[in-house]
Chains A and B, each alone.
Chain A
């Protein structure tokens, strides 16, 4: 999410040159702790605050207010001619960790599976690692199979998956082109299998989607309010779409 926060801050510097916003990374926990310590005005978080975090903040005299600023969904993609239409998260996890190596093991054609991923420095890579490969389990240390292709750009992923019948890949929903087929996914084998879209990502039925939040101390006022209003405006949400996230309006 740090990329998005940086993009907003940079764009806002042109809209409102008198306000200078500095962004630093480190993860959602870092931001929430800093808000609790009153060292920052806005905390970016790619997860909702936990109950104990809210209590700690209130004990410190901070009243965190949550604003949903964008949605984030990952589409799992294959070649349009691949007969597979849907997979469970467990199957996707087994494919990318190297336990399943041929499409016929999950009911497809007899072809080797070629795994395609974003580079390790991409936020999408980490989100996919945590929520799909490790299925959200913190103690799980499963990682990508060593033969996974690590491509430096989204164009690379859609074009390799779009022309190679063996390939399976993933990317942020906003980057997906019509040249590939998006799979319907389900968190458990009984279903329901849901395809990724703006709606299913925002209403929570698509299993690999999350909301991105900003937290402020109390109701935002002054320049903070202006900044947040701008982020939620069409102009701010355009940046969301440009970075491959899901705009909320």
Chain B
């Protein structure tokens, strides 16, 4: 009996370990595949042309900068809209709203997370884009700004939900202590609860941004996909890296320079999200260390 249990234990342990390792293995395999398909592009186009300002595959113009610019503008725009709104909503739900309202609000926010991005993209195209064109008096409503707002709407539920969980996990004694010292409710929230939940809130923000930078469908429908760099780019059409891959991969001839170039864009995208993740986890790590120091 004991022997059987031990065998069972070993098998389970092995399975769990395999699952853990496989995640790393998958990421590594994906990266190797990307490198294999994308690196030839570096030899097929000169570095100067990769730094060009024009992306037009028909004439073999593969300037990556406009795509990078498009992705950055749209993602930063989305972050600017979604972070303050998301954290504030989480604070309201966790700290201010009465119990019954909280029980209504949280599920609704989570339903928002389940909306397929195509549906949001459709709404954005038919409702948001014309609205932006008429209210801001722009030549067209299909702009980076439209994409930013849509992405913010997509990142919001993630940010709210994860941040609210983190705020909720802050021990009640912290708040009681602050209130007992004579802090107002606002001071308690801003100086005690939010800093205590900092690492969780940061995770929430990073997950939200992660969703924004990788999103494709909705962005492709509303940003106009014109590869251009301009200082007022937020109010004009932009072409993101994800939209470029999605739009062009379907028809490209396998093994051609254009095909390799699209994979090079994918490598770039992979590296960017990798970087965002590393920065996020190093920030979390530092925050945790400081908290430990303060407690000891």
Contact = CB atoms under 8 A, between A and B. Distances in A.
B77 interface: no
A121 B250 contact: yes
Interface string B208-230: 00000000000011001111100
Interface in A121-140: 121, 125-126, 129
Contacts of A163: 130
Interface in B127-147: 129-130, 133, 139-142
A143 B228 contact: no
B248 interface: yes
A118 to B, nearest CB: 10
A120 B58 contact: yes
Contacts of B142: 149, 151, 160
Given A143-B58, A147-B226, A156-B221, A119 B140 contact: no
B239 interface: yes
Contacts of B237: 147, 149
Given A114-B139, A120-B58, A147 B228 contact: yes
Of the candidates A121, A126, A159, the one having the most CB atoms from chain B within 10 angstroms of its own CB is A121
B56 A143 contact: yes
Interface in A79-115: 111-114
Contact of A150 (B61, B239, B253): B239
B97 interface: no
A133 to B, nearest CB: 11
Contacts, number: 71
B19 to A, nearest CB: 37
A41 interface: no
Interface residues of B, number: 33
Given A120-B57, A121-B250, A143-B56, A149 B225 contact: yes
A144 interface: yes
A144 B55 CA distance: 11
A121 B252 contact: yes
A149 B224 contact: yes
Contact of A159 (B126, B133, B228): B126
B232 interface: no
Contacts of A112: 139
B292 interface: no
Contact of B125 (A113, A120, A129, A156): A156
Nearest to B220: A152
A4 to B, nearest CB: 14
Given A150-B239, A151-B225, A121 B247 contact: yes
A120 B66 CA distance: 16
A141 B252 CA distance: 21
B62 interface: no
B175 interface: no
B102 interface: no
A60 interface: no
Contacts of B228: 146-147
Interface residues of A, number: 28
Given A146-B228, A147-B237, A150-B225, A164 B248 contact: no
Interface string A166-186: 110000000000000000000
A121 B141 contact: no
B204 to A, nearest CB: 32
A119 B247 contact: yes
B58 A164 contact: no
A210 B142 CA distance: 32
Contact of A152 (B61, B140, B221): B221
A150 B247 contact: yes
Interface centre among B66, B139, B248, B252, by most chain A C-beta atoms within 10 angstroms, is B139
Given A149-B225, A149-B237, A166 B248 contact: no
Contact of B140 (A141, A150, A167): A167
A148 interface: yes
Contacts of B141: 164
A152 B139 CA distance: 20
A147 B220 CA distance: 15
21 contacts: A112-B139, A113-B139, A114-B139, A120-B58, A121-B251, A126-B58, A143-B56, A143-B58, A144-B56, A146-B228, A149-B226, A150-B226, A150-B247, A151-B224, A152-B247, A159-B125, A160-B129, A164-B133, A164-B140, A166-B139, A167-B140
Q: Which 10 A-B pairs have the closest CB atoms?
A: A121-B251, A149-B224, A150-B225, A112-B139, A114-B140, A146-B228, A114-B139, A119-B247, A166-B139, A147-B226
